[in-house]
């Protein structure tokens, strides 16, 4: 499975999002992690001769497609909100907005 964001990058986004009560990017990140877990699980099961390889391949293929969509969504969300794409730092104005809401 091709990954646009590595686990540390996704964790960085989650940490910042949760610290400033901005859950939407974190939800997308968690969905990406879940899809990666689902894919890995299917790849482990696909080699088990006791299981139906076609079932596991179908699920793995769907996970890959969904993963691409969710990574594209994360990029779009980060761009819309004005995150620094190079450092994945939450923009100061979003931090301030979240503080005022508290």
Please list the pLDDT of the chain residue by residue as tens digits (102 residues).
Answer: 999 999 999 999 999 988 877 789 999 999 999 999 999 999 998 887 777 889 999 999 999 999 999 999 999 999 999 999 999 999 988 777 655 554
Radius of gyration over alpha carbons of the chain, in Å?
A: 17
Using a 10 angstrom Cβ sphere, with 0-12 exposed, 13-18 middle and 19 or more buried, the burial of residue 81 is middle
Q: How far is CA 70 from CA 9, 53, 57, 96, 98, in A?
A: 15, 25, 20, 27, 24
Distance between CA atoms of residues 102 and 6, nearest Å: 31
- State the pTM of this model: 0.86
């Amino acid at each position: 499975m091709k990954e646009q964001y590595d686990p540390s990058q996704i964790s960085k986004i989650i940490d910042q999002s949760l610290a400033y009560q901005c859950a939407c990017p974190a939800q997308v990140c968690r969905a990406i992690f879940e899809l990666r877990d689902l894919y890995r699980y299917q790849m482990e099961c696909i080699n088990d001769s006791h299981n139906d390889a076609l079932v596991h391949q179908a699920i793995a293929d769907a996970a890959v497609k969904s993963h691409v969509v969710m990574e594209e969504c994360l990029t779009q969300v980060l761009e819309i909100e004005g995150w620094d794409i190079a450092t994945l730092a939450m923009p100061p104005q979003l931090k301030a907005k979240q503080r005022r809401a508290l």
